[in-house]
Amino acid sequence: GYTKEEQMEFRAIIYGNILQSALAIIRGMEMLAIDFGSSGGQEDAQKLQNLSDSIEEGTMPAELAEVIKKLWKDSGVQAAFDRAAEYQLNDSAGYYLNEMDRICKPEYLPTEQDVLRSRVKTTGIIEEQFSCKELHFRMFDVGGQRSERKKWIHCFEGVTCIIFCGALSAYDMVLVEDDEVNRMHESLHLFNSICNHRFFALTSIVLFLNKKDLFEEKIKKVHLSICFPDYDGPNTYDDASNYIKTQFLDLNMKKGVKEIYSHLTCATDTKNV
């Protein structure tokens, strides 16, 4: 768990995530040509933009909180939120925006769930050290974005284990860096290059296909064939997730020598992880 001091440190991150999510939805409305449902929606959106330019980063003044809550109730904003796969929006947006009344109280202390859903982009290499059952671990978190990869791929020759995280729910989404490239395809491409890289010939790989909770909801509405045109199986959670898992495992060119341990995960569920 987190200490109270550690939880408090996440307030600024969470406030920043909320503001960026609200701005992203407004940009999404413009891109998708969705109109505001209320007559004052456009004015509120302009107010949001003006406030975002003037407030101290990582704060949530009452005036900003009120305009975000007002916009979140707008039918046009909700319509754009439902089409979030067509633009860039944090997975946590709906969670935080639905919790605005609680989060914006002066005495707000982030809960464990609030912390787990927060997002800070990883740049460079971040090291964490910890011990478990008399074993000492050094864990390195590296940026997955294209611009970050060249910083770390050469640093890890001889590591004991690689944990590769891919988002199940990203099958209908595109990259931030390139809106022509599907995120799942890019994840498979990166996994292929790591799994079969000479640096990692003897390295164990644990594959975490994450965000299974979001995937379970999305697969009810968006067919997997949007990402894999050859897929003609049932569009159910079990069948679709197993198909995705197989796409990753089939990339292993040394199946007889190298084992990949795969798991479907939900990082915000502490019982699962």
Binding residues: 91-92, 116-122, 141-145, 210-213, 267
Give the residue numbers of the binding site for GTP: 91-92, 116-122, 141-145, 210-213, 267
- Other C-beta atoms closer than 10 Å to the C-beta of 244 total 23
Distances (CA, A) of 202 to 34, 52, 84, 256, 258: 52, 49, 40, 12, 7
Rounded to 5°, the CA angle 226-230-233 comes to 85
Joined together, the tokens standing for residue 32 give 């998708």
Measure the CA–CA gap between 89 and 98, rounded to whole angstroms.
Answer: 15
Which segments are annotated as binding site for Mg(2+)? 122
Torsion of CA 246, 248, 249, 251, to 10 degrees: 120
Measure the CA–CA gap between 58 and 12, rounded to whole angstroms: 4
- The span from the CA of 241 to the CA of 215, in Å, is 8
